[in-house]
Amino acid sequence: MNRTPYQRSIEAMSTRFDVFLRGSKADYDEQHLEAVAVAVTEEIVRLDGALSRFDPRSEIARINRQAAKQFVRVDRELFALLETCEQGRQLTDGYFDVTRGGGWELNAADSSVRLAVESQIDLGGIGKGFALDRGREILRRFNVESGLLQGGTSSVLAVGQEVWPIDLRHPLTPELVIGQIELANCSLSCSAVRRSEQKTSDIVNPLTGEAIFGKAACFVLAADATTAEIYSTALLAMGLERASKFLAMLADGEEQIGWFEDDFLWLKERR
Amino acid sequence: MITRRTFLETAGVAAATSSMLRAGNSPVRVAVIGTGGRGSDLIRALTTIDGVELIAVCDDYPPHLEQGAKYAGPEAKTFVDYRKLLDELKPQAVVIAVPLYMHYQVAADCLSAGCDVFLEKTMCYTVAEAKKLTVQVTASKRVFQVGLQRRANAIYKQAQAMVAAGMIGQVVSIKSQWHRNNSWRRPVPVPKSDADWPRLERKLNWRLYKAYSQGLMAELGSHQMDVANWFLGGHPKRVIASGGIEYFRDGREVYDNISCLYEYELNGVNGKPYTVRVNYTSLCNNAYEGAAELVMGTKGSLYLTSAKGLLFQEKGTDVVSWEGNKDQPAADANAAIVTAGKTLKLSNDPWAHRGAPFEIDIAEGNDTRDELVAFVDCVRRQDAKTICDVNVGLADCATILMANQSVEAGGWISFPA
């Protein structure tokens, strides 16, 4: 843990991503770590270009423009992500919904999607996690044994067995640390109702269509970053009471759920 | 009685019918040769286009073939040898994204096999190959398009029309650059101590070695020099360039920075020729200016990237300035021409002189997908007039290679005859 990691940063998905890498073999020098870090950041930028609903050149923008009228063919990578989103929606009783309750039809036979009228896809709740998971694949392909990838400070993925200490920040008072966790071979996703400078939340309860309120924050540890994003977004939209009931019904898995409202508490510990 | 004339007409009809049959509603059968990073972009885009059936992908590097096959889907067959692919499947169209030194051979073989061809930029590794390919394409009458995707970008198309319409006056200079800050090095999956490292290093980092690559000019500059050729309506007359390996001294053979000064000779309205100079630079160790072209005319400047198109009008006498409007005939001969008072201070923003730009407000669409949509459309209609035909590709290839030649020779190099 004493070795200073190689670091590279990139602006994407309207925020900043950091890649920290440590090579364990003498053969894997800084030249290799830089090449891998660049490959990761370029992959994140590529995914931003495909997934952003704000960039009119993106695939998601094309779907949002065209798919209300007919089924639109999408590439297999994106279709697989949309299927993951649909599984997430079903898993969370509709509380994770990238169409914000609008609805869609997915056709696996030809990888196409049709949106319900006035429905739009917003992958803001999952895109960063998906990008981090793709980053982990690159680290593995190129034999980087230890790395920490983060996007927007709300999505973090530790790759490898090495332990990375992570502070958890108060949702409305960023300088206040409310806890620390040690992350190894695991992902962390944080969702809060709003940032300190925001008046209303940009997270919508898909069942009511209304912005959520309060001052809660939800912290999810999961094996992969995509899953962590689905849970943190859905549980926050549920609110503490419904989230607690939901978690009581949920089969024991790898996930660990933390909640902050007035105090920090673990809603679900890892087995 | 069949005269020679009616025979020819009949033959003509038969030919038209067969091309219409080809052009019918059946999907266009496309194969992709080369499934690395760029090839994967092209595969993903192809799978979103209606009327395209991606029948096969081909690469001789197993991890890239696996990646390409994943994006292409289970219906696409996989090949290691593109000649076998051509023999077995006889695709109607091929999309080629192999390293530059292989462009000519692969494209020539595909044309010989009767395929319509989309060939990634730069068209060829040498001008001689580009010329041979031009002859072959022209004789084959196949649909052929080079992957210079700014030709498919709505912003560039609009900007080119604005220049042609005289909206920025006479073009006096173009300044373009592609500046990045990374080693341009792809990771290699085995450590340097591995016996296979040298082979994989040259295979994956082919862009860094002269036997396979023409460096920054071919990989980046070709896009931007094509914009200059397109907007100025021709090719440069000569170039002087300087480049070297100044920072990434890691065994690479291609320059990590290059600066070029091109001269284009154009005809003025009065028939008198004038010269437009195009400055092009590419860096691997400072990304401040990014990738953009600035087309500068007597009436305005166009700042262009694939996501943004801005028009800055030149400040002239029609702009009311803070010291009073001298052009307005004074209704009252005694009216003050200057309003005096406390010192008016100009902004200390170094860019304030440019004024607020007008934005080209069309950004829908994606260059890579749109260039393939245009290609597939030409294939379906058997229309040889692609958005970036072989002659554009040849001129672009010669334009960028003369800069590399200038660096090596150390002086002005003329456009090849």
Write out pLDDT tens, residues B18-66.
344 444 578 999 999 999 999 999 999 999 999 999 999 999 999 999 9
Distance of CA A195 to the CA centre of its chain: 17
Residues ≥6 apart with Cβ < 8 Å to B326: B317, B337
pLDDT in tens, A5-19: 899 999 999 999 999
- Residue B339: predicted pLDDT: 60
Residues ≥6 apart with Cβ < 8 Å to B308: B155, B359, B363
Half-sphere exposure of A235 (CA within 13 A, CB side): 32
Residue that is written with structure tokens 């009436």 in the block: B299
Mutation for B interface: A11, A19, A29, A31, most B CBs within 10 A: A31
Distance of CA A165 to the CA centre of its chain: 19
| Sign of CA pseudo-dihedral B283, B287, B288, B291 | positive
Interface predicted TM-score (ipTM) over 0.90:
yes
Residue that is written with structure tokens 């010291």 in the block: B323
Residues of chain B with CATH 3.30.360.10: 152-315+356-364+391-414
Residue that is written with structure tokens 């169209």 in the block: B93
Q: At A23, list the tokens.
A: 């090579």
B145, B120 contact by CB (below 8 A): no
pLDDT in tens, B93-139: 999 999 999 999 999 999 999 999 999 999 999 999 999 999 999 99
- Residue A163: predicted pLDDT: 94
Separation between Cα atoms, residue A14 and residue A151, nearest integer Å? 10
**Residue B385 binned pLDDT confidence (cut-offs 50, 70, 90):** very high
Chain A residues whose beta carbon lies within 8 Å of the beta carbon of residue B193: 27
Q: At B258, list the tokens.
A: 């290059």
pLDDT in tens, A153-163: 999 999 999 99
A255, A227 contact by CB (below 8 A): yes
Cis bond before residue A99 (omega within 30° of 0) = no
Measured between CB atoms, does B44 come within 8 Å of chain A? yes
- Residue B262: predicted pLDDT: 98
Residue that is written with structure tokens 């006479």 in the block: B170
Say whether pLDDT at B231 is over 60.
Answer: yes
Q: At A253, list the tokens.
A: 């898995």
- Residue B11: predicted pLDDT: 38
**Residue A172 binned pLDDT confidence (cut-offs 50, 70, 90):** confident
Residue in A35, A59, A141 nearest the CB of B185? A35
Say whether pLDDT at B294 is over 70.
Answer: yes
Measured between CB atoms, does B71 come within 8 Å of chain A? yes
Query: Cβ of A76 and B186 within 8 Å?
Result: no
Residue B191 vs residues B37, B195, B204: alpha-carbon distances, Å: 21, 9, 14
Query: Cβ of B70 and A76 within 8 Å?
Result: yes
Q: At A135, list the tokens.
A: 């980053």
Amino acid in the structure at residue B14 = A
B243, B255 contact by CB (below 8 A): yes
Say whether pLDDT at B230 is over 80.
Answer: yes
pLDDT in tens, A174-206: 888 888 899 999 999 999 888 878 888 888 888
* Averaged pLDDT for residues B307-329: 64
Nearest CA among B24, B50, B32 for reference residue B89:
B32
Q: At A115, list the tokens.
A: 């949106």
Q: What's domain B17-149+374-381's architecture? A: 3-Layer(aba) Sandwich (3.40)
- Residue A11: predicted pLDDT: 94
Phi, psi for B270 (deg, rounded to 5): -90, 10
Mutation for B interface: A10, A38, A66, most B CBs within 10 A: A38
Nearest CA among B279, B130, B280, B158 for reference residue B216:
B280
Query: Cβ of A75 and B71 within 8 Å?
Result: yes
The per-residue b/e assignment along B156-192, b for 16 or more CB within 10 angstroms, e otherwise, is: bbbbbebbeeeebeebeebbbbbbbebbbbbbbeebe
pLDDT in tens, B172-206: 999 999 999 999 999 999 999 999 999 999 999 99
Fold observed for domain B152-315+356-364+391-414: Dihydrodipicolinate Reductase; domain 2 (3.30.360)
Average pLDDT value for chain A: 92
* Least Cα separation, residue B33 to chain A (angstroms): 18
Nearest CA among B373, B342, B323 for reference residue B151:
B373
* Averaged pLDDT for residues A67-87: 96
The CA-to-CA distance between both ends of chain B, in Å, stands at 50
Query: Cβ of A34 and B250 within 8 Å?
Result: no
Nearest CA among B362, B388, B370, B389 for reference residue B304:
B362
Say whether pLDDT at B279 is over 50.
Answer: yes
Query: Cβ of A27 and B48 within 8 Å?
Result: no
- Residue B333: predicted pLDDT: 55
* Least Cα separation, residue A3 to chain B (angstroms): 20
**Residue B164 binned pLDDT confidence (cut-offs 50, 70, 90):** very high
Greater pLDDT, B53 or A270: B53
Give A6-9's long-range contacts (Cβ < 8 A, gap of 24+). Answer: A6/A30, A6/A33, A6/A34, A6/A37, A7/A37, A8/A34, A8/A37, A8/A38, A8/A40, A8/A41, A9/A41
Helix axes A76-91, B62-72, angle to 10 degrees: 60
A189, A155 contact by CB (below 8 A): yes
Mutation for B interface: A24, A47, A57, most B CBs within 10 A: A57
Angular region, A251: left φ>0, alpha ψ -120 to 50, beta rest: beta
Say whether pLDDT at B320 is over 60.
Answer: no
pLDDT in tens, A22-37: 986 666 788 999 999 9
Greater pLDDT, B272 or B394: B394
Measured between CB atoms, does B320 come within 8 Å of chain A? no
- Residue A175: predicted pLDDT: 87
What is the helix (H) or strand (E) element at residue A192, kind and residue range?
Answer: strand A186-192
pLDDT in tens, A95-144: 999 998 899 999 999 999 999 988 999 999 999 999 999 999 999 999 99
Nearest CA among A202, A183, A146, A148 for reference residue A270:
A183
Residue A206 vs residues A95, A213, A244: alpha-carbon distances, Å: 6, 14, 18
* Averaged pLDDT for residues B264-268: 91
Average pLDDT value for chain B: 89
Phi, psi for B233 (deg, rounded to 5): 70, 40
Separation between Cα atoms, residue B221 and residue B401, nearest integer Å? 10
Half-sphere exposure of B393 (CA within 13 A, CB side): 34
Interface of A with B (CB under 8 A): 25, 27-29, 31-32, 34-36, 38-39, 46, 55-59, 61-62, 65, 72-77, 111, 138, 141-143
